[in-house]
Each structure stands twice: as structure tokens, then as C-alpha cells.
Amino acid sequence: MDNDRLKHSYAVAKKMMDIAKEYNLSEEDIMNCFLIGLIHDIGYEFTTNGINHNKIAGQLLKDNGFKYWQEVYYHGDIDCTYDSIFLDILNKADMQIDKYGNDIGYDKRLEDIKERYGEDSITYKNCVILIESLKTK
């Protein structure tokens, strides 16, 4: 992964730990959150345009017996029917950390995505929907 993606992934992992502590999860679950966050974007290594990076990564993790493959597979997916606290925590963390690893919150993250992809892009529109759903959880 490039340096920015590594910074993003590490920051998502740290943010997941913070959120997991707020949820009073066990130490084991907090460590699992760190691991999930750290590897959630590995699918970018196997795609040139980032499309379906979550599905690619999730499938790779499933094939290798990773317990939390579904969290990676479904992160960012607004049509997902799979539900887990770890997926919620991953999405919350991912939608608050910019591509450089800065914790910027939901609103600035949306601005960042809009600037990079455009206000009419499906990526931006899906992120708006995802963040609105996360704010109610």
C-alpha cells in the first residue's frame, strides 16, 4: 500500500480502538478492532481503481480464515444486510479519518470526498448516506 493508505489504515485502527473502548468492549475485542482497521483497505493492492477493494479484501481474508472478513467485505456498503458492532465501528472510524490519516470527523471527511470524487459521484452520494446512518447508531 502507498504511504497515505498506510497512514489512513493505521489511524482507522487507532480510531476503532477508541470507539470500541467507548462501547466498553473487552480487551480482546479492542485488539480485534485494531487489526480490522489496520487491514480494512488491503484490497487496494489488487485493484487499479479502488472499485470493490472491500469485496476483494474481504474475499481474500475469508479464503484465509480471518474471523472478521465480513466487516472488511461490507465496509462502506450502504446496501449491506450484514450487521455487527465491528462493522459499525469500522465504518464510523473510516468515515472520520482522511486519506492522510488525520481524524477530521464526518463533515470534513465528506468535504474531502466531495473534492476528490465530485458532488455528483456515486462515491460521494454513498458516503453521505452511510454517514447519516452512522450518526443514528
> What is the predicted pLDDT for the residue at 72?
98
Number of domains in the chain: 1
What share of the chain in percent tops pLDDT 90? 95
- The Cα–Cα gap between 32 and 81 comes to 22
> What is the predicted pLDDT for the residue at 137?
83
Q: Interior CA angle at 35 toward 66 and 103, to 5°? A: 140
Secondary element (H or E) of residue 14: helix 3-22
CATH of the domain at 92: 1.10.3210
Domain that holds residue 45: 3-135
Could you report the per-residue pLDDT of 11-39, keeping only the tens digit for each? 999 999 999 999 999 999 999 999 999 99
Question: Taking residues 83-95, what's their average pLDDT?
Answer: 98
> What is the predicted pLDDT for the residue at 1?
87
Question: Taking residues 98-122, what's their average pLDDT?
Answer: 96
The pTM assigned to this predicted structure is 0.96
